[in-house]
Chain A
Amino acid sequence: MIRFATALLAASALVGAAEARTLSVSPGPDAQERIQTALLDAKPGDIVKLAAGRYELSDGLSLDVDQVTVKGAGPDATILSFKGQKGAGEGLLVTSDRVTLRDFAVEDTRGDGVKSKGSDQISFLNLRVEWTNGPNEKNGAYGVYPVSSTNVLIDKVTVRGASDAGIYVGQSKNIVVKNSRAEFNVAGIEIENSMNADVFDNVATRNTGGILVFDLPNLPQMGGHSTRLFRNKVVQNDTANFAPKGNIVAGVPVGTGIMVMANRNVHVFENEIDGNQSAAVMLVSYTQTFDDKTYNPLPRDIVVRNNRIGKNGYDAKFAGAEILAKELGGVIPPIMWDGVTQHAQNADPVRVRLIDGPVLNLNLAAPGALMSAKPAVVDRLGDAVLAEPKPVSLPKPQADLGA
């Protein structure tokens, strides 16, 4: 009998260990210590539940336990306010794997909003990250900021006011960004030095630039490639650039719809691109000097097709735009390519298929060599057959979250 009871006890203990616990936190005094303690006490499988209300935080929060869900009561109900933040480079930092952050808001962080570094299977769901005073160069750089991560899901996220990019995915692999809204940021959504990203069904509006796909030199992960941008609404990006100088996005002209810089195999299709005063789609090289033998500064293998392109390029704000516009009858064509086809350092062929004309080819001899421009406008440019990257497939538990 005793033995039977012991066995039963042991069995229930095992079940208990496997069961997810919920660690609940409510607003009130010492919110900083209580949330942080929950994030430290959580075990794999646990849920840290943040009740509705406003949490006044004085320092950064961080999570380093695998397989934890941090869940609020909704992006307008559970609010983590970092207005009084005294330290740390971001509001919430995740450094562990298989983490889901969902249903809460992060406001007014001094640096970045929510960051993951080196995480596998990191999911940002139904979050709001916002600087509540609107666009300001004193706002933090990135709203949602996975970096050096793999299997990244960003779904139903809203970011407002980031002084760099609202949604920024850097040096990561296997990325899905969907159903999200980026507004009043310098860059709405930016995919940088990353491989295999699907960015679709998002709205990027009222930013300086809507969606950017970049690659930069001198970084541990370079050679960004294979990004699909589709079914996004990239409209009326009209906020003056408020990025601190020096940052790469400080060079994005106001009214840029989509910009691809120094990246490979980028397919832009079925987007609605309208009301962007500088250009609908810009394909440009990295123009700054760099000391990195492995870096390729040219955009290559680019497809732009089947987008619904409205009125764009009617008051372009990039260097030389005025002269150019005058020459072209007042309007910059929707698709603009710097036309650089070779670079001494890298022999990759430069192939394009730009069929949503008219297309402006600047025919630059080298990155940024504006004086060498031989602008030509054509109905469409390039007929390279470039296979579309396969849809990004996330591990099943993560894909189910976003289903």
Chain B
Amino acid sequence: MRSWIAALAALLCLGAAPGPRPVAQDVVLAETPAPRLADYRLFLDAAGRRPNAGLTPYALNTPLFTDYAEKFRYLYLPPGTKARYRAQGALEFPVGAVLVKTFAYPADLRRPAEDVRYLETRLLIRKANGWIALAYVWNAEQTDAVLKRAGARLDVRFIDAQGQPRQVDYAVPNQNQCKECHQLDKQVAPIGPKAQNLNGDFAYPDGQRNQLAHWTKAGLLAGAPPPGAAPRAARWDDPAEPLEARARAYLDANCAHCHNPRGIASNSGLFLDLGETRRAALGVGKGPVAAGRGAGNLKVSIEPGHPEASILAYRMASTEPGVMMPELGRSMVHEEGLALIEDYIRRMPPQ
């Protein structure tokens, strides 16, 4: 009798052409991480291209450089919940929130929308007792992504913006390495979605709008002031913005997740977050502490006027483990980012 009703109900549902099943909140909040990305139902298709309901795409004014990879970011919030605005640091997200970031390479960076290979999708999940970080690595067929806790190396080839073939020994971080960057006071924490970095326009399907304003209007964010009253990080690659603002935004996004007083590089005394104002803490005239050969025979992190005498630029220009900075997340030099920081140091007034 019961099974008959169930069968009928199933039939009725079929007849009504049910919508896609929502994001699996039980999987999101489960104690054990799901073995496959598909288990969360964050995407409607096996290839992870079409986000499910409840996912909002976003972008950062100035992102972390990751070997020229493209990044697709989404915020998932459980129905009826909102993030809370904070002027400093990441926004406050509710339990069940997921920050989704897919790292991908187009075959040719000059045609970014064509022939895009997904490498990994990283999730930051807000559990009841804090955040956890997970990386799911896509298969070659681009039909499935599986959990890789211990990290992986992937062979990647692409044509760069200048038309040159490039090869990357792309590193998927292990779970501890996720936390090395994503931490505040030893707890896992988001880095990107800070008000300052979201305070910019995004091209939504129905038009371009400021993200903070859009999130507020869409009921995703509470407590935010109008964008003009919120802090804003410069776009590192917008030549119309002041050089120092661009450089500081770049250092904030690429260095300050470790180089801040609550991060894993706190012992260096080199603090590169946007809020830092002490010149010595920002590296000006500051000697190395534990840099070893990372100091490259140079005496200070920043020698105003002289990028060639500044450890900061030296380490950005290196691809050697033990020398290069950041330590994790890249194996290539970010030529354009390095040029920006060199310019910033070159034009810095002497002490």
Contact = CB atoms under 8 A, between A and B. Distances in A.
Interface residues of B, number: 46
Interface residues of A, number: 55
Interface in A55-74: 58-60, 62-64
B296 interface: yes
Interface string B292-326: 11111111100000000001000000001111000
Given A86-B171, A95-B186, A40 B321 contact: no
A112 B292 contact: yes
A137 B261 CA distance: 30
Contacts, number: 148
A219 B269 contact: yes
Contact of B320 (A110, A171, A291): A110
Contact of A95 (B176, B261, B294, B299): B176
A138 B296 CA distance: 10
A134 interface: no
Contact of B149 (A40, A63, A140): A40
Task: Please classify the interface of chain B as helix (H, G, I), strand (E, B), loop, or mixed, using the class held by over half of its residues.
Answer: loop
Given A88-B327, A111-B322, A141-B290, A147 B280 contact: no
B59 interface: no
Interface stretch (A227-235, A242-250, A307-315, A360-368): A242-250
B46 interface: no
A58 B151 CA distance: 11
Contact of A244 (B152, B295, B328, B331): B295
B292 A111 contact: yes
B227 interface: no
A8 B288 CA distance: 60
A32 interface: yes
B264 A95 contact: yes
Contacts of A148: 266-267
Nearest to B281: A218
B285 interface: yes
A164 B331 contact: no
A189 interface: no
Contacts of B174: 36, 40, 59, 62
B293 A140 contact: yes
A64 B293 CA distance: 27
A356 B298 CA distance: 38
A195 B279 CA distance: 27
A70 B266 CA distance: 26
Interface in B145-172: 149-153, 169, 171
B150 A36 contact: yes
B150 A89 contact: no
B175 A248 contact: no
B114 to A, nearest CB: 30
Interface in A24-38: 32-34, 36-37
B179 interface: yes
30 contacts: A33-B150, A33-B152, A39-B176, A40-B176, A59-B174, A60-B177, A62-B176, A86-B153, A87-B171, A87-B327, A88-B327, A93-B176, A111-B292, A112-B290, A118-B264, A139-B293, A140-B322, A141-B291, A141-B292, A141-B294, A163-B293, A220-B267, A244-B293, A245-B299, A246-B287, A246-B288, A246-B291, A246-B299, A247-B292, A248-B289
Given A111-B321, A291-B285, 12 more contacts: A36-B150, A40-B176, A59-B153, A62-B180, A85-B321, A88-B177, A95-B264, A110-B320, A110-B322, A111-B323, A138-B293, A292-B280
